[in-house]
Amino acid sequence: MDSVTIVAVSSIAFSGITTCLGCLLPAYSEGQSIVAALTSIAQQPDASATITRTLFVGLAMIESTAIYCFVISMILIFANPFWNHFIAKAAGG
């Protein structure tokens, strides 16, 4: 295999891994956050407004991790910075 093919295969593979982990781990974390918030609300119903507000801020932070993984995955597929280097090296020697 030449270097361009290796870059292409590794970009696609790591993009898939990034997307997989970027979907699974934030989803699990969001579920755990919701469980903890519901448990807290059940124990302290008077503090439900504060708990809910804090929960939504935390969920937004967790979701931003998934968005960052998606962006990295798209960069690896469509705007990989290594492409130009390896294509120029393969063409020019």
Neighbours of 26 (CB within 10 A): 20
pLDDT tens for each residue of 47-84: 999 999 999 999 999 999 999 999 999 988 888 877 77
pLDDT surpassing 70 at residue 93: no
- Match 């807290």 to its residue by tokens: 40
pLDDT at 82: 78
> Measured between alpha carbons, how far is 72 from 81 in angstroms, rounded to an integer?
12
Structural domain including 56 reads 3-92
pLDDT at 90: 74
Neighbours of 24 (CB within 10 A): 11
pLDDT surpassing 70 at residue 25: yes
- Domain tally, the chain: 1
Q: CA-CA distances (angstroms) from residue 23 to 1, 19, 62, 67, 77?
A: 31, 6, 11, 9, 17
| CATH code assigned at 46 | 1.20.20.10
More confident residue, 84 or 42: 42
pLDDT surpassing 90 at residue 87: no
